[in-house]
Amino acid sequence: MAKVNISLDAELVVEVMVLAGVGSPQDAVEAVVRDYIARGHRTEARAGLTEQGLREVDIKPQEPQG
């Protein structure tokens, strides 16, 4: 797996370490990135279900009004 080196504000990393309950900066950053990706997948799944639900409603014939 390829590795990437970046510079981050130490205070940000320490805050993430405390919030995530991890002991190393590497683990803290990986936790944040993994959480971000998981949230994106959950959002995509919700949006897909919502769009599918709307399509199903549009397919059903409408009852006569009036």
Digit-coded pLDDT (tens) for 11-52: 999 999 999 999 999 999 999 999 999 998 888 887 776 565
Distance CA 3, CA 60 (A): 51
Predicted model pTM: 0.60
End-to-end CA distance of the chain: 64
How sure is the predictor about 9, in pLDDT bands with cuts at 50, 70 and 90?
very high
| Separation in Å, CA 10 to CA 6, 13, 38 | 12, 5, 25
